[in-house]
Copies of this chain bind each other. A is one copy, B any other.
């Protein structure tokens, strides 16, 4: 009896959760986005056990989210986000924004994301219409896509 896998659910959310839903994975990815590259730095930053960190890094490499390579000096390995990994940035931004809003620190935001060129803060994450207007949850409708039209798999 293994833990139930999510990736056979024919649901994009379940696919994603299957890859990044394990404990610690997103915190590791956050540090990678902030420039942390080495095993020991992840470990001390996060206070994670080494065997767990090892397992998570290997999984992230296997899933194509981090790339493992020898450092310039050749002494140690480095873990760097791939393009696929960077595509998860919106997930992290959305979670950080929720945490800032609903579980705030009294002293203010903990991390601020700014546009590199202008130095000005980005907008809070939100759905955006085709022509660029922010959309509230109530303005969005969910439809079944082509991959769900198999009646044998209908939900509800």
A residues at B contact (CB < 8 Å): 3-4, 6-7, 9-17, 19, 21, 23, 26-27, 30, 33-36, 41, 45, 47, 64, 84, 86-103, 105-123, 125-130, 132, 134-135, 137-149, 155-156
Knowing A126-B90, A141-B113, say if A41 contacts B156 (CB, 8 Å). yes
> A145 to B17, Cβ gap below 8 A?
no
> A132 to B129, Cβ gap below 8 A?
no
- Name 4 extra pairs, CB < 8 A, besides A12-B111, A21-B21: A3-B23, A84-B102, A90-B94, A132-B132
Chain B residue contacts of A147, Cβ below 8 A? 105-110
User: How many angstroms from the CA of A9 to the CA of B115 in the assembled complex?
Assistant: 25
User: How many angstroms from the CA of A99 to the CA of B120 in the assembled complex?
Assistant: 30
Question: Which 6 residue pairs are nearest across A and B when measured between Cβ atoms?
Answer: A12-B99, A108-B146, A109-B145, A105-B147, A15-B103, A15-B99
User: How many angstroms from the CA of A123 to the CA of B149 in the assembled complex?
Assistant: 22
Tell me how many chains of this kind the complex includes: 2
Instruction: List 20 A-B pairs, Cβ < 8 Å.
Output: A10-B105, A11-B27, A12-B98, A12-B103, A16-B98, A90-B94, A90-B125, A93-B127, A110-B144, A111-B145, A113-B141, A113-B143, A114-B141, A115-B129, A120-B129, A122-B129, A123-B127, A123-B129, A123-B130, A132-B132
Chain B residue contacts of A94, Cβ below 8 A? 90-91, 93-94, 125
> A122 to B102, Cβ gap below 8 A?
no
